[in-house]
Structure 1
Amino acid sequence: MDLVIRNAKLRKEKELVDIAIKDGKIVAIEEKMDVNGSKEINADGNLVTPSFVDPHLHLDAVLSVGDPRYNMSGTLLEGIQIWGERKPHLTKEIIKKNAIEAIKWEVANGTLKIRTHADTTDPTLLTVESLVEVKEEMKDLVDIQIVAFPQDGIYTFEDGERLMEKAMEMGADVVGGIPHNEFTREDGVKDVEFVFNVAKKYNALIDIHVDETGDDQSRFLEVMAKLTINNNMQGLVTASHTTAMHNYNNDYAFKLIGILKRAEMNMITNPFDNSVLQNRTDGYPRKRGHTRVDELIARGVNVSIGHDSIMDPWYPLGKGSMLQAANLLLHTAHLSGYDQISDLFDMITINSAKTMNIEDEYGIEVGKPADMIVLDADNEMDAIRLMSECIYVIRRGNIVATTKPSERVVTFKGAAENIDFKIRK
């Protein structure tokens, strides 16, 4: 074998197993296999899972915080204004350099699948061109999907439709939209309808920034759900953010979630950005700035977590950790129930793989690509609680990142003790 992982703890399994990898694929998963590997890893009872998946990221804006100025109000609208001021000065070199660096951050934190949005409202489409090149250059390290994303809206400026189509011709994989940012309700509906028409033309997936506002009258999600059903696109359509749903009256929200389930839509919540950008003008009491995650999960809707921003005009922090995103959502969305913590881990792994429509090549199963991680934790709760390091990140059977967990020593009454914050039973 090219690589054998010994004593691996798989999710929902009691016994430890060995995993054998050959030619980039998993060829066997058994207890105590009598095989040798050119390389071997002893997982030592730690959790081994498929790599993390980040289904919502803006690689064209990462690592740009403070350029040309900081977002002093912390609002979504000021972030968009700053991005607009920065766009005329962007170069391919800057976009690619920052994007590649952020990708490496995510890989070091265990993410090997990324869906990124590329702004199509710059007439040069420099962001799209740059990220198409990044996708090709980084393909041996990470799988990337690119969304043609009209940051300023499709109908708020000239040639919005043409630029979206051109972005698809240049190599974008997914069609995006932003109906709540259009001038009128009518243009917002037109935005969604255009996205579906383009997706059918290019046989592409859909991922729309929708109702990313605290306005309880922003209701474009229902339009997406209807068109998904009418076009038989169940499972192929994603709604990102949907923060307005938090403020809908409960009767309407109940009806809407039922339609979302019928449409088999994928939902992405983005804890970092949503928690700091939304409901800034509420005063007190201040609503939480995310969608109805618990209710969606309870009704069987597929929900994923995205990182969204890494040090850009919308969110000044972040290091590309999906475990950190899950940890934050646990607190802001009241997901601390025992079963809910397992749901959170699903939201950065299998749920996000479903959102990206890559389930056939995702998972720790014989015959699938060997894209997996070894965590410094033996269960999902500890992984999220400790925001555990990825001791090993494995891409197609090759070890592409390693981390040595920190050592903390407390000396008391002459005795030194290593502290790792884990409970021994």
Structure 2
Amino acid sequence: MDTVIKHCKLRDRSDLVDIAIRDGIIAAIEPRYEGPAGKEIDAAGRLVIPPLVDPHLHLDAVLTVGQPRFNESGTLLEGIAIWAERKAMLTEEDIIRRATEAVRWEVAQGVGFIRTHVDVCDPNLTALKALLQVKERVRHLCAIQIVAFPQEGILAYPGGLDLMREALRMGADVVGGIPHYEYTREDGVASVHAAFDLALEFDRLIDIHCDETDDPHSRFVETMVARTIRDGLEGRVTASHTTAMGSYNDAYAFKLMRLMAKAELHVITNPLDNIILQGRFDSYPKRRGLTRVKELLEMGVNVATGHDSIMDPWYPLGMGNMLQAAWLLLHVAHMSGRTEMKKVFDTITDNAARCLGIAHEYGIGVGNPANLVILDAVDEIDALRRQAVARYVLRRGRVVAETVPSQSRVYEASGDVRDVTFRM
């Protein structure tokens, strides 16, 4: 074996196991592996998981906070306006530098798969050209899917549909959209149909920013559901954000969620951005600005969690930590039951992998790629609570990132020195 990871704690097992890796593939999972190995890593009882997945990110905009100005209102609309100003300054070199650095941040924290949206409302498609290069440059660290995303609308932006088609010809992996940003309800519906038509033409997955508003009259998910069922695209379509669901009446929401389950529609919630951007027009009570995560999961809808923004016009904070995004979701969605917390962890692992269509190559099993993360935690709840660092990150059997956990000490009056581990 090339590498053996000793004393691993897996999510679905109470005992510790050894994981043997050969030629980048998991070759054996045994209580104790005794064969020779070129390298040994001692997990020492830590939790070993497949890589975290960030299914919703905007790599073209990362690390631009304050450029050319800060979003003082904190609203989605001001963020879009600021981005339009910053977009005029973009160069491929600028995007490559910022996006590559953000990828490093995420990889260092255990992310192995990223789906990034790229703004294609640009006649030169500068951001797309840059991210296609980034995708190749970082393939040794993680895998990236690129969504052709019409930030200013497929129909509202002049030539938007032609730019979407060109982006797909150039190599974008997924068709995007933003129907609630189109000029009219009718245009929004037409933009959803345009996205589905492109997906069928180019045989691509679909991931649409949908109903990212507090407006209960924004109901484009139902159009997505109908097209998904009629076109036989079950399991290939994702609705991102869907925050308007938090404002729908319960009767309509129940009907919609039932249809979403029938269509095998994936939903991506982005709690870091949504809790900041939504509810801005409310006085009190203020809406949380989140989709109905708990209820969707109970209805059998696959829900994943994305990071969305890292220090950009929409979200001034963040460092690409998926555990942080899941930790916030746990609170905002009222999912603090023990089983519920494990389901929250699923939203940044297995559920997110299903959104990206990579479930067939994802997970810890013999024959799967040796993409693994050793978290400094005993289980997934401990990882969420303490925002556990990724002690080692492996891609196809090779260590691509390593973090040494910090050590805290308290000095007692008696002179004793006490280590603080933040564990019971």
TM-score normalised by structure 2 residue count: 0.99
Match of 1:340 in 2: 340
Match of 2:421 in 1: 420
Q: CA deviation at 1:410?
A: 0.9
Give structure 1 regions of 4+ aligned residues with deviation exceeding 2 angstroms. Answer: none
The alignment's C-alpha RMSD in Å is 0.6
Match of 1:158 in 2: 158
> How far apart, CA to CA, are the structure 2 residues paired with 1:10 and 1:393?
15
Match of 1:308 in 2: 308
> How far apart, CA to CA, are the structure 1 residues paired with 2:217 and 2:342?
33
1:391 aligns with 2:391: yes
> How far apart, CA to CA, are the structure 1 residues paired with 2:158 and 2:199?
21
Q: Mapping of 1:253-272 within 5 angstroms? A: 253-272=253-272
Match of 2:12 in 1: 12
Match of 2:115 in 1: 115
Q: Mapping of 1:117-132 within 5 angstroms? A: 117-132=117-132
> How far apart, CA to CA, are the structure 2 residues paired with 1:342 and 1:315?
27
Match of 2:241 in 1: 241
Q: Mapping of 1:392-411 within 5 angstroms? A: 392-411=392-411
Q: CA deviation at 1:12?
A: 2.0
1:369 aligns with 2:369: yes
Q: CA deviation at 1:140?
A: 1.2
Q: Secondary structure of the residue that 1:32 maps to in structure 2?
A: coil
Q: Secondary structure of the residue that 2:233 maps to in structure 1?
A: coil
> How far apart, CA to CA, are the structure 2 residues paired with 1:18 and 1:192?
48
Q: Mapping of 1:275-314 within 5 angstroms? A: 275-314=275-314
> How far apart, CA to CA, are the structure 2 residues paired with 1:330 and 1:346?
12
Q: Deviations over 1:176-219 (max 9, x none)?
A: 00000000011000000000000011110000000000000000
Q: Mapping of 1:4-403 within 5 angstroms? A: 4-403=4-403
Q: Secondary structure of the residue that 2:88 maps to in structure 1?
A: helix
Q: CA deviation at 1:224?
A: 0.2
Q: Deviations over 1:317-363 (max 9, x none)?
A: 00110000000111111111111100011000000000000011111
Q: Deviations over 1:85-134 (max 9, x none)?
A: 11111111110100000000000000010000010101111011111111
> How far apart, CA to CA, are the structure 2 residues paired with 1:39 and 1:344?
34
> How far apart, CA to CA, are the structure 2 residues paired with 1:165 and 1:110?
34
> How far apart, CA to CA, are the structure 1 residues paired with 2:35 and 2:356?
35
TM-score normalised by structure 1 residue count: 0.99
Q: List runs of 5+ in structure 1 lacking aligned partners.
A: none
Q: Deviations over 1:138-180 (max 9, x none)?
A: 1111100000000000111211110000000011000000000
> How far apart, CA to CA, are the structure 2 residues paired with 1:238 and 1:250?
22
> How far apart, CA to CA, are the structure 1 residues paired with 2:35 and 2:287?
56
Q: Secondary structure of the residue that 2:268 maps to in structure 1?
A: strand
> How far apart, CA to CA, are the structure 1 residues paired with 2:152 and 2:360?
35
> How far apart, CA to CA, are the structure 1 residues paired with 2:45 and 2:138?
32
Q: Which amino acid aligns with 2:216?
A: D
Q: Which amino acid aligns with 1:232?
A: G
> How far apart, CA to CA, are the structure 2 residues paired with 1:12 and 1:419?
29
> How far apart, CA to CA, are the structure 2 residues paired with 1:390 and 1:135?
22
Q: Which amino acid aligns with 2:52?
A: F
Q: Give the total of aligned pairs.
A: 423
Q: CA deviation at 1:36?
A: 2.5
> How far apart, CA to CA, are the structure 2 residues paired with 1:87 and 1:46?
43
> How far apart, CA to CA, are the structure 2 residues paired with 1:165 and 1:252?
34
Q: Which amino acid aligns with 2:111?
A: T
Q: Which amino acid aligns with 2:261?
A: K
Q: Secondary structure of the residue that 1:89 maps to in structure 2?
A: coil
Q: CA deviation at 1:246?
A: 0.3
> How far apart, CA to CA, are the structure 1 residues paired with 2:201 and 2:361?
25
Q: Which amino acid aligns with 1:291?
A: T
> How far apart, CA to CA, are the structure 1 residues paired with 2:49 and 2:37?
20
Q: Which amino acid aligns with 1:415?
A: D
- Give % identity: 56
Q: Which amino acid aligns with 2:291?
A: T
Q: Deviations over 1:46-73 (max 9, x none)?
A: 1000000000000000000000000000
Q: List runs of 5+ in structure 2 lacking aligned partners.
A: none
Q: Secondary structure of the residue that 1:79 maps to in structure 2?
A: helix
Q: Which amino acid aligns with 1:418?
A: D
